[in-house]
Amino acid sequence: MAVTTTTVAETCAAAKTAARKLATAPTEAKNAALAATARLLGERTAEILEANAADLGDERAAGLSDALRDRLMLSAERVAAMAEGVRVVAALDDPVGEELERKTLESGLDLRKIRVPLGVVAVVYEARPNVTIDCAALTIKSGNAIVLRGSSYAERSNGALAAIVREALEEAGLPGDSVVLLDGGGRETLAELAMQEGLVDLLIPRGGEGLKAAIKDVATVPVMYAAAGNCHVYVHAEADLEMARRIAVNAKVQRPGVCNSAETLLIDAAIAARFAPPVLGDLAAAGVELVGDERVREAAGEVEVGAATEADWGTEYLGLKMAVAVVDSVEEAIEHVNAHGTGHSEAIVTTNEEAADEFAAGVDCAAVYVNASTRFTDGFEYGMGAEIGNSTQKLHARGPIGMRELTTFKYVARGDGQLRE
């Protein structure tokens, strides 16, 4: 079984031992492990779905929202998509050993800066079983071991998936402990994981502000937060309004329970009377509950829009609810985004290049879109194969966390007897 019955420290120590071996593993062996993972996902789909059905049927999952149940739910199509993501990662260039810089020093030393794995990456994540596979694939290819701590809601699903990856690793001659799964545990387990100094090289929590606060209080290991996404779509005065309608609906509705869905729609005052009724009608027809400021409510026509509270502007709904406001300019849109956003993904719809450039330069976020949906902030969409999460920090990575974001570098100097005078 992939779920451990040992202590957190023992689990992390086993991963550390495996990481040292995986760090020097040839690309061919890592790719073989990934190919075996993709194959086994196909062969064991029925087994995976049975475990997932048990998770969904558990009384612990009964109170989950529709959006969270959607995150938890697997289907044959979703398992196939996981397998395809693994194959994409296998096909990417191996980042380990990449030469970043090379020069000859005055001393005659040949100095190379090369990319190396971080070591042991720990990931804490919510009830999304696909994260188990995405994370494992990225860490295997980047030469890192991984400690996975998933939600108790997905315990059976995660166990089945992690067991497949461990089997694939051993089939390829690599240590199975390169991927280990902690049971759900409680806050005590999380705190213990966050304090595994010397064993865990990077902790990546994927979750809400409560999880973030709990880790900040105790962490002694480096932490990179895959943070919440309070994302905006701003429709400029010179937008193509039909395009803007499609983008606004897609950004909110296509998959509302994920971090890159839009939570707030900003409409320029110059077009509010023309644009608000049709776009709000589209959103309402898609089942979106709308709340807005007074100007939006006046412009909404027959579409029902509730009164937004101050808290609504800073809320990541992760569901079919959206806040809407009217702004007077690009500058005001930027100000609103920077005041209330989480630095994840922001979009402007406009035909005016100067407005697009001003918005792109002014919003403080990891990803900005001109005439496109925020839903594209994703490692797979960015050609990374998969992602461990989206970072809104500025050190050491920002945006989708892929293979290269899971590496660091070292300097290797070669000489012929040089001594420093």
Going by pLDDT thresholds of 50, 70 and 90, the confidence category of residue 49 is very high
What pLDDT sits at residue 208? Answer: 72
Joined together, the tokens standing for residue 155 give: 């315990």
> How far is residue 330 from each of residues 207, 230, 236, 294, 308, measured CA to CA in Å?
31, 19, 7, 20, 21
Listed in sequence order, the DSSP H helices in 172-240 are 187-193, 209-216
pLDDT-based confidence at residue 1 (cuts at 50, 70, 90): very low
Query: Taking each helix axis from N to C terminus, what angle separates 272-285 and 241-253, rounded to the nearest 10 degrees?
Result: 40
- Between 148 and 379, where is the model more confident? 148
pLDDT recorded at residue 184: 62
pLDDT of residue 51: 97
Of all residues in the chain, the percent with pLDDT exceeding 70 is: 98
Q: How far apart are CA 101 and CA 66, in angstroms?
A: 49
Is residue 117 within a helix (H) or strand (E), and if so which, with residue range? strand 110-117
Residue 185 confidence (pLDDT) above 80:
no
- ∠ CA 349-350-351, nearest 5°, is 145
In the block, residue with structure tokens 């709904």? 317
Question: What would the pLDDT profile of 298-311 be if each residue is shown by its tens digit?
Answer: 999 999 999 999 99
- pLDDT at 394 exceeding the cut of 90: no
Phi and psi, residue 108, nearest 5°:
95, -5
pLDDT of residue 5: 57
User: pLDDT over 90 for what percent of the chain?
Assistant: 81
Residue with tokens 């996981």: 82
Residue 134 tokens, joined: 């995405």
Peptide bond into 396 cis (omega under 30): yes
Q: 70-102 burial string, b = 16+ CB within 10 Å, else e? A: bbbbbeeebbebbbebbbbbbebebbbeeeeee
DSSP symbols for 253-312 = HSSTTSTTSEEEEEEEGGGHHHHHHHHHHHHHHTT-EEEE-HHHHHH-TTS--EEPPGGG
Instruction: Give the mean model confidence (pLDDT) for residues 67-87.
Output: 92
Over 50: is that where the pLDDT of 100 sits?
yes
What class, spelled out in words, does domain 8-226+388-414 have in CATH? alpha beta
CA distances from 155 to 51, 82, 146, 230 (A): 9, 18, 17, 28
Any idea which of 17-21, 60-64, 239-243, 398-402 has the lowest mean pLDDT? Answer: 60-64
Give the Å distances, CA to CA, from 380 to 85, 87, 271. 7, 11, 35
CA 126 from centroid of its chain's CA atoms: 11
What's the pLDDT tens digit per position in 144-167?
999 999 988 999 999 999 999 999
Enumerate the domain spans of the chain.
Answer: 8-226+388-414, 231-376
Among 132-146, 366-380, 388-402, which is the least confidently predicted range?
388-402
pLDDT at position 262: 98
pLDDT of 93 strictly over 50? yes
Q: What is the pLDDT of residues 318-367, one digit of tens each?
A: 899 999 999 999 999 999 999 999 999 999 999 999 999 999 999 999 99
pLDDT reading at 67 higher than 80 = no
pLDDT band at 214 (very low <50, low <70, confident <90, very high): confident
What's the whole-number mean pLDDT along residues 383-388? 83
Residues 6+ away with beta carbon under 8 Å from 251 = 231, 233, 261, 262, 347, 373, 374, 375
Check if the beta carbon of residue 116 is closer than 8 Å to that of residue 418.
no
| Radius of gyration in angstroms for the set of CA atoms belonging to the chain, rounded to a whole number | 23
Cα–Cα dist 177/147, whole Å? 9
| CATH topology (fold) of 231-376 | Aldehyde Dehydrogenase; Chain A, domain 2 (3.40.309)
The band of 73, judged by pLDDT with boundaries at 50, 70 and 90, is: very high
